[in-house]
Amino acid sequence: EIVLTQSPGTLSLSPGERASLSCRASQSVSSSYLSWYQQKPGQAPRLLIYGASSRASGIPDRFSGSGSGTDFTLTISRLEPEDFAVYYCQQYGSSRTFGQGTKVEIK
Amino acid sequence: EVQLLESGGGLVQPGGSLRLSCAASGFTFSSFAMSWVRQPPGKGLEWVSAIGSSGDSTYYADSVKGRFTISRDNSKNTLYLQMNSLRAEDTAVYYCAKCRGPSCSYFDYWGQGTLVTVSS
């Protein structure tokens, strides 16, 4: 089973700042099979990025994904108040696994 | 508008059974694979099970294999999860999710979830 490790666990930033979230896989993951989700308290996860770098429908262009192999990054270019949330990466290989999440909190 | 509405959660004793349902609307249900993902209180996400669009292919996480059964009724646009031999560690919010990508590689829409609590 491929294990995804996200870092940092918590990111404390101010609105307007740039956020870079890391997702590292224990084995190589096809870029086609790496996605990112946002979850706010009491809400279901929302798809942000699929195929490592493709934005889902309706997702603002301040969200971008990059990476390949075992290292992937979600970047939020300028944090808006509504972007403070928990972010999960997810892979599909022999099975489907999620990272443990990165919380982006207001500094 | 895609809508996924889960139901059937509740309190059940260890060793008991529960069946979750997910009513889908706003898309051609029979054309898409579907999945269940769970989230223990205060913790992260765990994929549980997936089913192909026609129902003939099913997949399970090792943690639930042999205890949970996923199924669907395309005539009713409904997804199910039969959960048997429930354990305390199965306590979680269970989300129904619509699959996309090759072999259900990601999830583009999620329901609001239903809480399952396994406790005596």
Which residue on chain B is closest to A57 by alpha carbon? B108
The answer to whether the beta carbons of residues B22 and B4 sit under 8 Å apart is yes
- Collapsing DSSP to helix, strand or coil, B90 comes out as helix
Judging contacts by C-beta atoms under 8 Å, the chain A residues touching residue B62 are 1
Q: Which of B35, B44, B113 sits opposite A101 (nearest CB)?
A: B44
Rg (CA), chain B: 13
- What percent of chain A stands above pLDDT 90? 93
With a cut of 90, say whether residue A13 has pLDDT above it. yes
Nearest CA distance, B78 vs chain A (angstrom): 19
Confidence band (pLDDT; 50, 70, 90) for B103?
confident
Reported as a single tens digit per residue, the pLDDT across A30-46 is 878 999 999 999 999 99
Closest CA to B79 of B1, B5, B23, B118: B23
The answer to whether the beta carbons of residues A101 and A86 sit under 8 Å apart is yes
Q: Which two tokens stand for residue B42?
A: 């205060």
**C-beta atoms of B110 and A45 within 8 A:** yes
- What percent of chain B stands above pLDDT 90? 98
Q: What is the reported pLDDT for B102? A: 78
Nearest CA distance, A15 vs chain B (angstrom): 25
Give CA angle at B39 (A105, A33), nearest 5°: 80
Judging contacts by C-beta atoms under 8 Å, the chain A residues touching residue B103 are 92
Q: Checking phi first, is residue A70 left (phi over 0); if not, alpha (psi -120 to 50) or beta?
A: alpha
Nearest CA distance, B75 vs chain A (angstrom): 26
Across chain B, mean pLDDT equals 97
Reported as a single tens digit per residue, the pLDDT across B12-69 is 999 999 999 999 999 999 999 999 999 999 999 999 999 999 999 999 999 999 999 9
Q: Which of B61, B95, B107 sits opposite A95 (nearest CB)?
A: B61
With a cut of 80, say whether residue A94 has pLDDT above it. no
DSSP string, B16-72: --EEEEEEEESS-GGGS-EEEEEE-TTS--EEEEEE-TTS--EEE-TTTTTTEEEEE
Place of tokens 């706003």: B26
**C-beta atoms of B108 and A33 within 8 A:** no
Confidence band (pLDDT; 50, 70, 90) for B105?
very high
Mean pLDDT across the stretch B75-81?
Answer: 98
Give CA angle at B4 (B37, A51), nearest 5°: 55
Judging contacts by C-beta atoms under 8 Å, the chain A residues touching residue B50 are 96
Judging contacts by C-beta atoms under 8 Å, the chain B residues touching residue A53 are none
Q: Checking phi first, is residue A37 left (phi over 0); if not, alpha (psi -120 to 50) or beta?
A: beta
**What CA–CA distance (Å, rounded) separates A49 from A78?**
17
**C-beta atoms of B47 and A32 within 8 A:** no
Judging contacts by C-beta atoms under 8 Å, the chain B residues touching residue A90 are 45, 47, 106-107
Q: Which two tokens stand for residue B49?
A: 């099970």
The answer to whether the beta carbons of residues A56 and B100 sit under 8 Å apart is no
With a cut of 90, say whether residue A54 has pLDDT above it. yes
